[in-house]
Structure 1
Amino acid sequence: MERRRLLQTLATLGITSSPVFDSLHTIRDSVGQSLGRDERLDVEMWEETVSEYGYSYRLTPPQQLLQEVAADLVAVRQAMSRTGSRDRLFRSWCRVTGGLSLIMAKTLCNLGQSRQARPWWATALDAAELSGDPNLSTWIRGEQLIHGLYDRRPTPVLLRQADAALSGYADSAYRGVPEISAARAQVLVNHGMPAEAVAELHRCGEVFEKLPGSVTGNTRSIEGWGAARLGYTQAWVYAYLGDRDRLDQAVSQTHEALDPSDPSRRFRVQLALLQAMGHVRSGDVTEGVRHAQAVYETYPAEQRTTMVTRLADEVLEAVPVAERGGSSVADYRELLASPVGRRAIT
């Protein structure tokens, strides 16, 4: 009955199950039982799947990613049903579930469905705690804070969450700690606390230096946290401060840290929009708006996630009231307001 309900739910999401593949899955289960299936191999396969999502996340349109992750979560749920909570592999399955739930939460946020993402953030954290993996737990907390920032959740709420997350891990080198610190710096500058934001930037840099090379050198996957992520955080703070010189320096350093062969454009587009917004805040309205328009209108609509559209909107919001009647500003406003200008969600 549960399997039927899950399949019906997948069908609602547009994910169909072929009778042929269902039959093959049944045969595979039967063969696996005859061979004395090693569940450890299943866990390892799913851990690789989570790792692969780290690479495909920025390349796959969010609507497509939503369907793929949903189908995988159902498959993992069915695999876990054969494992008891006292089983030696239970923690590994929880780690897989936590990783997939994190991708689901991020994808829903990218589709503008932040309220629907909240239970998935909770599920991801619960699974991470049960797995006993602090790298996963801190990563999830950092990602939740970053998405909360783009979703414009109240900054006092985000600050409390960041402080609580750092209280237990501030001096550690777990993967998510610099991301939590980075989010805190971004929240502080948005909250009108520039000195505290710059101080947090320095702390973020200190934590970054403690990270292992396996994290800082992983530049193509969202599981990594390299120099480009640190540079992006610096660019964010200086953009909101309207400090053009330090902003441009941070953007230049971030580009140098990026892997030139990385096919993903999303990070570069966000960085460009952030720079445009900072230029507008510094007083260069015309050039900042033109730069934002040139970047935004050439980016595929199906890849315009909430993060991209939010930064595009903030370029316009940064324009002083007295200059909002200019032709370049009017053209940019028209682009953002048109159906083509928003992300495509089907």
Structure 2
Amino acid sequence: MLKTQRPAWAIRLQEERELRGWGPFDMARQLLRTVGVENPSLSRVRNMYRQILRWENGENYPGTWAPVYAETFGIPLHELFPEPPPRQSERLNKKKLDTLAQADVNVEISTPLHAGDDEMERRALLQLTALGLSAEAFGSTGEPVRQLLALALESEPRDLDAWHLTLSDHLHAILTRASSQARDGLIVDLVAIQRQLHTAEPDQATELRRVAAALSMLYANALTRLGQHAGAIHWWRTAKVAADATDDLGLRLMTRCEEAAFGLYGQRDLPTVIRLIDEAEGAAGTKPSSWRADLTGTRARALALQGRHDEAQEALSTFIDFTGDRNARGIMPTLWNENRVHFTASWVHACAGREAEADTERELVLARTQGYQYAANVRLHEALCTVVKGGAGPGAAQATEILAELPPAHQSHMILETGRTVLRAIPREQRNRPAVRELQTLTSGRHLIT
């Protein structure tokens, strides 16, 4: 949109920002600070950044954020926005703003519901915010809203086969789609399983609890990929409680294995991850199982990140040499597969600089992987190995290229965190190199535009 085509208020927003010497990311932090968010997450700042660009382009009116702009700039609202705004955007509800400021969800605000009643709009927004849905759903396809409406209208509960299919669908979404899309789809089914549990017959209640545990675990998975760690940790806990209520040892171990593994991506410090592994192994007993072996693989990765390469190699060997059934059947039979072994080996060998071994394992992962998540991370292992072998510049350039190839929606926290692992491996005296600085900028996420 040309500058002359934009509304006067959109031009004014950009001019006032530039007058103060603020870039769009600075503006995002200033607006969040005005509503009381002093240390926003990177994903929240990134989302606000994208919305600021839309507002300045005149694509949609700031609505609830208009008075925040006025307060941030120190300009009266009627002076900053002299034009009559769209009817819906005149309804500035402080409670909405407070809720959005406190919730660990996206803060993108487009023109909201076209309801004629303030209270209806407020309640709908608060419900979706409490569930973790982005308010952007109002201005896009509204698919999460449609699914919630369909849920309210359904009279028949889902049968168990349908629930098992639902779990497979969500796992596929997590591996192949943007993490925010996977999260929003999970929310709808978490609400549905809760409703069905209230009316379930005793012979189905236990299996539905198993489904609820698996859904909770997948939701923690999605939140981790979005970098929403506080929420993810709560959902790991919910998943464990739900699993423990079923007396299904495989399910109990699965939730604990996943919690420990995802903790490696900056969600927990490494000693805490190892403690989680120790506790899960205590719950596993002495009988060999694929999930017990998987805990050993997670231990190998944690030790490798700590630089304890001999111990990591020993744990990796134990993981590889597991002779039992590697297909962890149960409520999610496709969650565990042989790629976990090769991915773990790629990680451990790359951290130690064992280039030939890392190359072999990486190629095995790339030949078998589904979706973009594993593929991006295992390629970053190659860059990490290059750095460990002494090639700080080439390794940083390689990691930068891998990340830059990904669409912004696919640059999940877990992928960016692997990029940061590459960065941390670079000696301090070499971090002023242009390639290293570029990687540092890229892994901060400040460049992202969608």
Give the TM-score taking structure 1 as reference length. 0.82
Higher mean alpha-carbon deviation, 111-120 vs 332-341, is at 332-341
Label 1:311 to 1:25 Cα distance change in 2 as closer, same or farther (>3 A): closer
Alignment match of 2:419 (pick from 293, 312, 320): 312
**Counterpart in 1 of 2:46?**
none
Q: What's the offset of the Cα at 1:170?
A: 6.0
What letter matches 1:51 in structure 2?
Answer: S
Label 1:336 to 1:193 Cα distance change in 2 as closer, same or farther (>3 A): closer
**Counterpart in 1 of 2:182?**
65
Q: Distance in 2 between matches of 1:312 and 1:18?
A: 37
Q: What's the offset of the Cα at 1:253?
A: 3.5
What letter matches 1:189 in structure 2?
Answer: A
- Where do 5+ consecutive residues of structure 2 fail to align? 1-122, 138-143
What letter matches 2:352 in structure 1?
Answer: L
1:247-268 deviations in Å (ceiling 9; x for gaps): 2233234334x15xx4x12211
1:199-228 deviations in Å (ceiling 9; x for gaps): 111111133x3125576xxxxx99433332
Higher mean alpha-carbon deviation, 44-53 vs 102-111, is at 44-53
Q: Distance in 2 between matches of 1:116 and 1:136?
A: 21
Tell me the secondary structure at the aligned position of residue 283 of structure 1: coil
What letter matches 1:65 in structure 2?
Answer: A
Q: What's the offset of the Cα at 1:330?
A: 3.0
What letter matches 1:125 in structure 2?
Answer: K
What letter matches 2:434 in structure 1?
Answer: S
Q: What's the offset of the Cα at 1:102?
A: 0.5
Tell me the secondary structure at the aligned position of residue 147 of structure 1: helix
Q: What's the offset of the Cα at 1:18?
A: 5.3
Give the TM-score taking structure 2 as reference length. 0.64
| Equivalences, count | 317
Pairing 1:210–2:324 present: yes
Larger-Rg structure? 2
Label 1:225 to 1:90 Cα distance change in 2 as closer, same or farther (>3 A): same
Q: What's the offset of the Cα at 1:114?
A: 0.9
Which runs of structure 2 are paired with 1:145-156 in the superposition (5 Å)?
145-156=260-271
What letter matches 1:311 in structure 2?
Answer: T
Q: Distance in 2 between matches of 1:141 and 1:20?
A: 30
Q: Distance in 1 between matches of 2:162 and 2:124?
A: 22
Pairing 1:269–2:384 present: no
**Counterpart in 2 of 1:49?**
166
Q: What's the offset of the Cα at 1:47?
A: 2.0
**Counterpart in 2 of 1:218?**
none
Q: What's the offset of the Cα at 1:337?
A: 4.1
Q: Distance in 2 between matches of 1:285 and 1:318?
A: 8
- The answer to whether the Cα contact below 8 Å between 1:184 and 1:200 also exists between their aligned partners in 2 is yes
Higher mean alpha-carbon deviation, 110-119 vs 147-156, is at 147-156
CA RMSD of aligned residues (A): 2.9
- The answer to whether the Cα contact below 8 Å between 1:182 and 1:200 also exists between their aligned partners in 2 is yes
Alignment match of 2:352 (pick from 217, 238, 241): 241
**Counterpart in 1 of 2:337?**
226
Tell me the secondary structure at the aligned position of residue 447 of structure 2: helix
What letter matches 1:82 in structure 2?
Answer: T
How much identity, in percent, do the aligned residues show? 23
What letter matches 2:215 in structure 1?
Answer: L
Q: What's the offset of the Cα at 1:174?
A: 4.0
Q: Distance in 2 between matches of 1:281 and 1:181?
A: 24
1:250-305 deviations in Å (ceiling 9; x for gaps): 3234334x15xx4x122110001121012101112222122111111010111111
Pairing 1:279–2:386 present: yes
- The answer to whether the Cα contact below 8 Å between 2:372 and 2:410 also exists between their aligned partners in 1 is no
**Counterpart in 2 of 1:36?**
none
Tell me the secondary structure at the aligned position of residue 254 of structure 1: helix
- The answer to whether the Cα contact below 8 Å between 1:185 and 1:198 also exists between their aligned partners in 2 is yes
- Where do 5+ consecutive residues of structure 1 fail to align? 33-38, 216-220
